[in-house]
Amino acid sequence: MKFGRKIIIWLIIGATFYLLLGYHFIFVGGNVKFLKKSSLTLNYTFFSVRGKSNESILAIDELRKDGIGDLLVEAGNMTEEEKERLMARFEYRGN
Angle, CA 58 vertex, CA 42 and CA 73 arms, to 5°: 105
Distance CA 13, CA 81 (A): 42
What range defines the domain where residue 39 resides?
2-93
Distance CA 13, CA 18 (A): 9
CA dihedral (41, 46, 48, 54) in degrees, to 10, reads 10
Specify the pLDDT at position 79: 95
Specify the pLDDT at position 3: 82
Q: How many CA atoms does the CB half-sphere of 26 hold within 13 Å?
A: 24
Backbone angles phi, psi at 55, to 5 degrees: -65, -45
- Beta bridge partners, 32, equal 27
Specify the pLDDT at position 34: 95
Residue-level pLDDT, tens digit, the chain, 95 residues = 688 899 999 999 999 999 999 999 999 988 999 999 999 999 999 999 999 999 999 999 999 999 999 999 999 999 999 999 999 988 876 64
Distance CA 55, CA 6 (A): 46
Domain count, the chain: 1
N-to-C CA span, the chain: 53
